[in-house]
Amino acid sequence: MCTAATYKTKDFYMGRTLDYEFSYGEQIAITPRNYEFDFRFAGKIKSHYALIGMAFVAEGYPLYYDAVNEKGLGMAGLNFVGNAAYEEALPEDETEVSQVAQFEFIPWILTQCATVAEAREKLATMRLTGTAFSEQLPTAQLHWIIADKDSCIVVESMKDGLHVYDNPVGVLTNNPPFPSQMFALNNYAGVSRKQPESTFAGVLQLDAYSRGMGGMGIPGDLSSQSRFVKVAFTKLNSISGEEEDESVSQFFHILGSVDQQRGCCEVTEGKYEITIYTSCCNTAKGIYYYTTYDNHQITAVDMHAENLDSDQLICYPLLSKGEVRWQNK
């Protein structure tokens, strides 16, 4: 499972958790403006917006899980198992629109679009194909969240075509499809950050004996529908200072509300899903912050500290070992 969220204070932030039972060996990858993208069907793009994000680098190619470009447009791919269905690639002369393999969808959009509005235009003239990157890396079943500081959409490629939905909460998890996830919020219309009134029945005066009782009913399990509700409530009620430190700290608390602890979700005998990493990107500044399961210290990589006119990928391995800061020895 995974969860993605957006958050706006003075700047706009976007990030995700990646929950899984093993890691591919992903890294922070910065793709500078002159790295040549050789798209499977759509040709080469030699000069483009620079990207920063989390990627598994295979044969020198950044297979992005989530990324942001220098214009402040961000995108993340999350599992959508059982619902994702892609197009078959057609011979070039049989299609008018650009064909894009699912593994190159993030670079396709982020190298060329500065805003969600521009991404929507690209989406209207493309076919997303199920083409695998390689035999060892078969097609992933994903759906995507795309956001800038003003709007947010979800893209789902299903048997009945490519859907593009407005996302007014700025949150995405996994199954079921996005419209169902949103609909489920109706079940929680009564929850609140405020203490409940005693409205159970006129004859009973019930007591709010603890703080936080307005949120009673919000699910706490790790299913994707439950995480959607939990993180939507947390995000939409979030209050923080506007400054960078306060915003980033709050962002990690938002995604922390759906953190997965080893042992609570068994996927196969003896294998447990955990939150491998949590990310938070300041989309305006191009800074990628992250924590890992064992390293709670927020670590950051700034794309603008690199030569963005280069043509070579720049990678930073995840710092995944935690450190205790001793105070008395």
Ligand X SMILES: C[C@H](CCC(=O)NCCS(=O)(=O)O)[C@H]1CC[C@H]2[C@@H]3CC[C@@H]4C[C@H](O)CC[C@]4(C)[C@H]3C[C@H](O)[C@]12C
Name the residue number minimizing CB distance to ligand X.
79
Active site residues: 2
Say if strands 126-129 and 98-101 run parallel, antiparallel, or are unpaired: parallel
CB of 23 to ligand X, least distance (A): 9
In terms of C-beta distances under 8 Å and separation of at least 24 residues, what long-range contacts does 115-123 make, across chains too?
A: 115/71, 115/73, 115/148, 115/150, 116/73, 116/146, 116/147, 116/148, 116/150, 116/151, 116/152, 116/153, 117/151, 118/73, 119/73, 119/75, 119/146, 119/153, 120/153, 120/164, 122/98, 123/155, 123/162, 123/164
Applying CB under 6 A, the residues found at the interface with ligand X are 1-2, 18-20, 24, 56, 63, 65, 77-79, 81, 102-103, 133, 137, 139-140, 142, 174
CB of 274 to ligand X, least distance (A): 11
Q: Which residues are CB-neighbours of 230 under 8 A, at least 6 positions away?
A: 218, 219, 220, 257, 258
Nearer to ligand X, 63 or 73 (CB): 63
CB of 208 to ligand X, least distance (A): 36
Q: Any idea what the Cα angle at residue 307 is, between residues 75 and 277, rounded to 5°?
A: 40
CB of 18 to ligand X, least distance (A): 6
